[in-house]
C-alpha cells in the first residue's frame, strides 16, 4: 500500500486549504463540547471539594436570640452531625472615602479554634484576637473593592453604636461564594461585605452573651431536610426563630447553583448542536470531495485494486482530516475550557481549582466527528465503487437537465445563458443544492444561537431595571417598621418620592410542589416598583389575591384563578389559601406580590414595611447618604444604578464572553462550510468553466457563473437559517430558564443581520480565493486531460 499512502499524503498536501477548512469545522464542534462540558465539570468538582473541605452547612436558620444551651438539643436532632451556632447580624458600614452607606454581614468566630462549619479560607492575615475587639476579618471581594489591606480600618454601626474596626485578615467562605447584599442580585464588594469578628466582641455589642442568632447544621447523607427543618423550627420558635431552610434557599448556594446550572444547560444545548452541525457539514463536504475522485477511483479499479483497498484509502484520507480537526479542536477546546474555568473561578473566588480531566469527552467528540467523516466518505464511495471502472473513468454522463419552464416559454431573451446555466445547475441537482443550502443555513443558525444571548440580556435589563423597578435606591431596615416610616424617609434630603413595601418569607404550595419565596406587599398604585405582565405592560395589583411570577406559576402548575396554599413564615405562622390573581413577567427570582393592606389583614397587624423605595434628586445624593448613615434603624441601602452596573459587569460579562467564544467557533464553522462549498463546486465544474473560457468568455464572465450560484445559494440559505437559529435559540432559552434567572426569547434584528453578515463575509472571502483559481485555469490542460 506504499504508493497509495504516498498518494494520500500528497493529496492532503495538494488539498491542504480545503482539508484545513474541514478540519476547522470538526475542530469547532469538538472544541465547543470540551469547552462547555469541561469548564462546567471542573467548576462543579471545585465547588464540591470547596464545600467538603470548608464544611459548608446543609440547613440554616436565624433566630432573634437563642441560648447556647439549645445547641446540644439541636445536635440531638436525628441525622445532625455538626452544629455551628453563632451571632450573625446586618450592620451599616461607614467606609472612609466612600459616601454611600455600605452593608456588612457581621459574623462571630469562636474564640478558640475554627468554627465547626462554614470555615474560613484565609487569603492573608490571621483570625481576630479575642482580646482585641477591633480585630476583623473581611471577605476578599469587599477588601479588593475598597483596596483594603491588612491594617486598613473602617467603621460599623453595631447595634446603634459606631465602632472602629481594623482588618487583620482577608478570607473566603463557602457560605459567601456569591456574597450578595440585601436587595441586590449581584455581589457588589463596594456596598456589601462580610465581616468576621471574635464572638466576645460581637456578643457584647449585641448583648448576646451565651446566645446565638444564627445556626447551621451539617446532616448525615440521606437525612430528610424537611424533617430536620421542622424539628429545628420547633426548637427555635420560642426564641424568635425564622423558618429554617436548606441549601436550595441559601442565597450564595442558590446563585452558584444557578450559574453552574446555566453553564451545564449551555453545555448540554450548544455543544450537541455544534457537534451535530459540524458532523453534518463534514459529512457533506467530504462526500463531495470524494465524489471528485471518481476518475482516480475508476483508474485504481482498472489497475486491479480491490474495492476494499480503495475504500480504505479514502477512509484514511477523510480519517486524517478528521483527526487533524479533532486534534485542533481538542487543543483549542482544552485551552478555552481552562480559560473559561479560570474566568468563572475568579468571579466566584474559589480558593483553589479542581481541573477535571475528561477522557470521555475527547472520545465522544472524536468518535462522533470521525464517524461523520467516514460516513460522508462512504456515502460517496458507495456510488463510485459500484460503477464499472470503465464508467467510473469517464467523466460523469451529462445529467439530464430539464427546463424549469415549459418548452414553449423560453428563458432566452429574459435572462442570459450564464444565468440559465446557473438556474439549471441548481435545479438539476436538487439534493446537492438543498444540502449546500442547508449547510449554509446551519452556519447562520449556530451564529444566531451564539449571538442572541446578548440581546436577551439587554431585554432583561430593560424590563427589570427600567420597566419594573424604577426606584433610584432602596432603604431597608433591621426590623419591620410601621409603613409611616416612608414619610420619615421622604423627608430626608434629596428624596423625591418614597414608597414602602413589606416582604415576608412564605412557603407556597400546590399539591406536592412547594417553593420557598418572598411575598412583597406594596401600595396598590406603587409607581416606583411596578408589576409587568406578559405583554410588558404595567398592571395594577388586584385588591385581593396574589400575583406571582409567571415562572412560579409554571413550576406550581397553576393558572390565574387557581388556589395555592401559603405557609406564612413570619410572625404568626399560619397556612392560608390564596387565589392566584395575576401573573408577573419577571426574569430574576420567583416571588409573590400583593396589596399591603391585604397582607396586613392577613398577618393581623397594622401595615408595616421593611424597606422603602425612593427616587432621588441626583444632585443631593451625598446629603441623602449622610442622613441615612445617621439612622440606626437602617440596615442597608441598595442603589439601582450600581446594581445595574454590577449586573452588566458580571453576569453580562460572563454571558458575553461565552457568547463571543461560541460566536468565534460558529464563525470558523461557517467559514469552513462556505469555503468548501465554493471550492468543491469549482472542481466539479472546472471542465465546463474552462470550456466557456475556450469559447471566448472572459474570466469575469466565467467567475460570475460560478459565484452567482454561490451567492444565490448563500442568500437562499439565510431565511431558513434565521428560522433554524430562532428555533435553536428557543431550545437554548428553554433549557436555560431557571428559578433565579430566565430570559424572554428576543432575537434582535441586528442578530439576524450580524449572523448573515458573517456567513456572507465568509462567502465573499471564499469567492476571492476561487477567483484566483479561475484566473489560473490552464485551459488546454483542463480540456485535454481527464485527471
Query: Does 776 engage in binding with other proteins (CB under 8 A)?
Result: no
Out of 150, 220, 367, 388, point to the residue binding other proteins (CB under 8 A).
388
| 7 vs 507, beta carbon nearer other proteins | 7
Using the contact rule CB under 8 A, the part of the chain among 9-17, 183-191, 418-426, 552-560 near other proteins is 9-17
Decide: 68 and 212 in contact? Cβ < 8 Å.
Answer: yes
Give the 3-state secondary structure of residue 109.
Answer: strand
Decide: 341 and 34 in contact? Cβ < 8 Å.
Answer: no
| 772 vs 784, beta carbon nearer other proteins | 784
x/- map, 307-326, other proteins, by CB under 8 A: x-x-----------------
Using the contact rule CB under 8 A, the part of the chain among 197-205, 575-583, 624-632, 779-787 near other proteins is 779-787
Decide: 500 and 609 in contact? Cβ < 8 Å.
Answer: yes
Chain centroid to Cα 392, Å, comes to: 52
Query: Does 2 engage in binding with other proteins (CB under 8 A)?
Result: yes
Out of 150, 234, 367, 391, point to the residue binding other proteins (CB under 8 A).
391
Give the 3-state secondary structure of residue 453.
Answer: helix
**Distance in angstroms (rounded) separating the CA atoms of residues 519 and 538:** 18
Query: Does 72 engage in binding with other proteins (CB under 8 A)?
Result: no
Using the contact rule CB under 8 A, the part of the chain among 117-125, 294-302, 424-432, 516-524 near other proteins is 294-302
Query: Does 363 engage in binding with other proteins (CB under 8 A)?
Result: no
Q: Give the single-character DSSP code of 238.
A: G
| 302 vs 404, beta carbon nearer other proteins | 302
Query: Does 7 engage in binding with other proteins (CB under 8 A)?
Result: yes
CB of 300 to other proteins, least distance (A): 8
| 151 vs 398, beta carbon nearer other proteins | 398
Out of 72, 210, 400, 408, point to the residue binding other proteins (CB under 8 A).
400
Calculate the CA dihedral of residues 682, 684, 685, 690 and round it to 10 degrees: 80
CB of 427 to other proteins, least distance (A): 16
**Distance in angstroms (rounded) separating the CA atoms of residues 313 and 9:** 11
| 302 vs 645, beta carbon nearer other proteins | 302
CB of 688 to other proteins, least distance (A): 17
CB of 368 to other proteins, least distance (A): 30
CB of 684 to other proteins, least distance (A): 17
**Distance in angstroms (rounded) separating the CA atoms of residues 674 and 573:** 65
Decide: 561 and 522 in contact? Cβ < 8 Å.
Answer: no
Q: Which of 253, 251, 239 is nearest to 71 (CA)?
A: 239
# chain residues binding other proteins, by CB under 8 A: 34
Query: Does 306 engage in binding with other proteins (CB under 8 A)?
Result: yes
Query: Does 17 engage in binding with other proteins (CB under 8 A)?
Result: no
Out of 220, 302, 641, 780, point to the residue binding other proteins (CB under 8 A).
302
Q: How far is CA 786 from CA 631, 685, 764, in A?
A: 92, 13, 30
Query: Does 3 engage in binding with other proteins (CB under 8 A)?
Result: yes
**Distance in angstroms (rounded) separating the CA atoms of residues 324 and 781:** 33
Using the contact rule CB under 8 A, the part of the chain among 83-91, 247-255, 392-400, 450-458 near other proteins is 392-400
Chain centroid to Cα 572, Å, comes to: 40
Out of 48, 150, 220, 390, point to the residue binding other proteins (CB under 8 A).
390
Decide: 474 and 616 in contact? Cβ < 8 Å.
Answer: no
**Distance in angstroms (rounded) separating the CA atoms of residues 607 and 424:** 78
| 400 vs 619, beta carbon nearer other proteins | 400
Query: Does 305 engage in binding with other proteins (CB under 8 A)?
Result: yes
Using the contact rule CB under 8 A, the part of the chain among 8-16, 78-86, 103-111, 181-189 near other proteins is 8-16
CB of 295 to other proteins, least distance (A): 8
Q: Which of 450, 432, 452 is nearest to 440 (CA)?
A: 432
Q: Which of 546, 645, 566, 552 is nearest to 189 (CA)?
A: 645
User: How does DSSP assign 195-235, residue by residue?
Assistant: EEEEHHHHHHHHT-TTEEEEEEEEE-TT--HHHHHHHHHHH
**Distance in angstroms (rounded) separating the CA atoms of residues 128 and 70:** 26
Three-class secondary structure assignment of 125-177:
ECCCCCCCCCEEEEEHHHHHHCCCCCCCEEEEEECCEEEEEEEEEEEECHHHC
Grid cell locating 695? 469559447
Out of 250, 269, 296, 714, point to the residue binding other proteins (CB under 8 A).
296
Out of 96, 222, 304, 561, point to the residue binding other proteins (CB under 8 A).
304
CB of 4 to other proteins, least distance (A): 7
Out of 389, 418, 579, 738, point to the residue binding other proteins (CB under 8 A).
389
Using the contact rule CB under 8 A, the part of the chain among 304-312, 454-462, 565-573, 609-617 near other proteins is 304-312
**Distance in angstroms (rounded) separating the CA atoms of residues 384 and 298:** 8
Using the contact rule CB under 8 A, the part of the chain among 4-12, 132-140, 170-178, 249-257 near other proteins is 4-12
Query: Does 96 engage in binding with other proteins (CB under 8 A)?
Result: no
Q: Contact positions toward other proteins, by CB under 8 A?
A: 1-4, 6-7, 10-11, 14, 295-296, 299-307, 309, 388-391, 393, 397-400, 784-787
Amino acid at each position: 500500500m506504499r504508493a497509495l499512502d504516498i498518494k494520500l499524503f500528497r493529496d492532503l498536501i495538494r488539498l491542504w486549504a480545503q482539508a484545513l477548512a474541514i478540519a476547522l469545522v470538526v475542530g469547532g464542534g469538538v472544541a465547543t463540547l470540551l469547552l462547555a462540558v469541561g469548564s462546567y465539570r471542573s467548576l462543579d468538582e471545585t465547588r464540591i471539594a470547596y464545600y467538603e473541605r470548608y464544611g459548608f452547612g446543609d440547613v440554616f436558620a436565624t433566630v432573634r436570640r437563642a441560648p447556647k444551651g439549645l445547641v446540644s438539643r439541636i445536635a440531638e436532632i436525628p441525622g445532625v452531625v455538626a452544629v455551628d451556632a453563632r451571632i450573625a447580624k446586618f450592620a451599616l458600614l461607614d467606609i472612609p472615602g466612600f459616601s454611600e452607606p455600605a452593608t456588612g454581614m457581621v459574623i462571630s468566630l469562636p474564640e478558640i479554634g475554627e468554627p465547626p462549619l462554614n470555615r474560613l479560607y484565609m487569603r492573608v492575615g490571621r483570625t481576630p484576637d479575642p482580646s482585641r475587639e477591633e480585630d476583623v476579618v473581611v471577605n476578599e471581594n469587599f477588601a479588593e473593592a475598597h483596596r483594603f489591606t491588612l491594617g486598613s480600618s473602617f467603621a460599623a454601626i453595631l447595634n446603634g453604636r459606631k465602632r472602629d474596626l481594623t482588618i487583620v485578615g482577608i478570607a473566603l467562605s463557602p457560605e459567601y461564594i456569591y456574597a450578595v447584599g440585601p436587595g441586590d442580585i449581584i455581589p457588589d464588594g463596594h456596598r456589601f461585605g462580610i465581616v468576621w469578628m471574635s464572638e466576645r466582641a460581637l456578643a457584647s455589642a449585641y448583648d448576646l452573651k451565651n446566645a446565638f442568632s444564627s445556626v447551621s447544621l451539617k446532616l448525615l447523607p440521606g437525612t430528610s431536610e424537611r424533617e430536620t427543618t421542622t424539628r429545628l423550627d420547633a426548637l427555635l420558635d420560642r426564641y424568635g426563630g425564622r423558618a429554617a431552610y436548606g441549601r436550595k434557599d441559601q442565597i450564595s448556594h442558590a446563585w452558584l447553583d444557578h450559574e453552574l446550572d446555566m453553564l451545564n444547560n449551555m453545555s448540554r444545548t450548544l455543544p450537541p448542536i455544534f457537534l451535530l452541525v459540524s458532523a453534518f457539514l463534514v459529512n457533506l463536504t467530504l462526500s463531495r470531495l470524494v465524489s471528485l475522485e471518481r476518475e482516480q477511483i475508476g483508474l485504481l479499479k482498472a489497475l486491479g485494486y480491490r474495492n476494499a483497498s480503495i475504500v480504505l484509502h479514502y477512509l484514511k484520507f477523510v480519517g486524517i482530516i478528521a483527526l487533524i480537526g479533532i486534534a485542533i479542536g481538542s487543543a483549542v477546546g482544552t485551552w478555552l475550557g481552562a480559560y473559561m474555568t479560570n474566568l468563572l473561578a475568579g468571579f466566584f473566588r474559589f480558593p483553589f481549582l479542581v481541573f477535571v480531566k475528561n477522557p470521555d469527552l475527547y472520545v465522544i467528540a472524536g468518535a462522533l466527528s470521525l464517524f461523520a467523516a467516514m460516513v460522508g466518505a462512504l456515502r460517496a464511495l458507495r456510488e463510485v465503487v459500484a460503477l464499472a471502472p470503465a464508467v467510473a473513468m469517464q467523466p460523469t454522463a451529462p445529467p439530464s437537465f430539464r427546463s424549469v419552464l415549459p418548452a414553449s416559454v423560453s428563458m432566452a431573451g429574459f435572462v442570459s445563458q450564464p444565468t440559465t446555466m446557473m438556474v439549471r445547475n441548481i435545479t438539476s441537482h436538487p439534493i446537492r443544492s438543498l444540502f449546500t443550502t442547508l449547510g449554509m443555513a446551519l452556519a447562520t443558525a449556530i451564529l444566531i444561537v451564539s449571538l442572541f444571548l446578548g440581546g436577551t440580556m439587554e431585554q432583561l435589563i430593560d424590563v427589570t431595571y427600567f420597566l419594573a423597578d424604577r426606584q433610584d435606591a432602596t432603604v431597608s431596615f433591621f426590623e419591620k417598621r410601621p409603613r409611616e416610616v416612608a414619610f420619615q424617609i421622604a423627608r430626608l434630603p434629596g428624596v423625591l418620592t418614597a414608597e414602602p413595601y413589606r416582604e415576608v418569607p412564605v412557603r407556597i404550595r400546590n399539591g406536592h410542589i412547594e417553593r420557598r419565596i418572598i411575598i412583597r406587599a406594596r401600595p396598590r398604585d406603587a409607581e416606583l416598583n411596578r408589576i409587568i405582565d406578559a405583554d410588558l405592560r404595567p398592571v395594577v395589583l388586584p385588591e385581593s389575591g396574589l400575583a406571582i411570577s409567571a415562572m412560579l406559576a409554571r413550576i406550581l402548575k397553576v393558572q390565574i384563578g387557581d388556589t395555592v396554599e401559603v405557609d406564612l413564615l413570619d410572625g404568626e405562622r399560619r397556612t392560608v389559601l390564596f387565589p392566584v390573581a395575576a401573573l408577573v413577567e419577571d426574569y430574576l427570582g420567583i416571588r409573590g406580590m400583593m396589596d399591603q393592606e391585604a397582607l396586613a389583614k392577613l398577618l393581623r397587624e397594622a401595615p408595616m414595611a421593611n424597606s422603602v423605595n425612593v427616587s432621588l434628586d441626583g444632585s443631593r445624593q451625598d446629603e441623602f447618604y449622610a442622613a441615612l448613615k445617621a439612622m440606626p434603624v437602617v440596615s442597608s441601602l441598595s442603589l439601582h444604578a450600581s446594581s445595574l452596573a454590577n449586573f452588566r459587569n458580571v453576569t453580562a460579562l460572563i454571558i458575553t464572553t461565552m457568547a463571543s467564544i461560541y460566536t468565534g467557533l460558529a464563525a470558523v464553522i461557517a467559514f469552513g462550510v462556505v469555503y468548501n462549498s465554493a471550492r468543491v463546486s469549482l472542481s466539479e465544474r472546472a471542465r465546463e468553466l474552462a470550456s466557456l473560457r475556450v469559447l471566448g468568455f472572459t474570466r469575469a464572465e466565467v467567475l460570475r457563473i460560478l459565484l452567482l450560484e454561490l451567492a444565490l445559494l448563500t442568500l437562499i440559505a439565510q431565511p431558513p437559517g434565521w428560522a433554524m437559529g430562532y428555533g435553536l435559540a428557543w431550545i437554548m432559552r428553554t433549557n436555560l430558564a431557571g428559578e433565579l434567572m430566565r430570559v424572554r426569547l428576543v432575537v434582535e434584528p441586528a442578530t439576524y443581520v450580524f449572523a448573515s453578515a458573517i456567513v456572507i463575509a465568509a462567502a465573499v472571502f471564499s469567492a476571492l480565493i476561487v477567483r484566483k483559481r479561475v484566473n489560473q485555469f490552464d485551459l488546454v490542460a483542463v480540456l485535454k486531460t481527464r485527471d
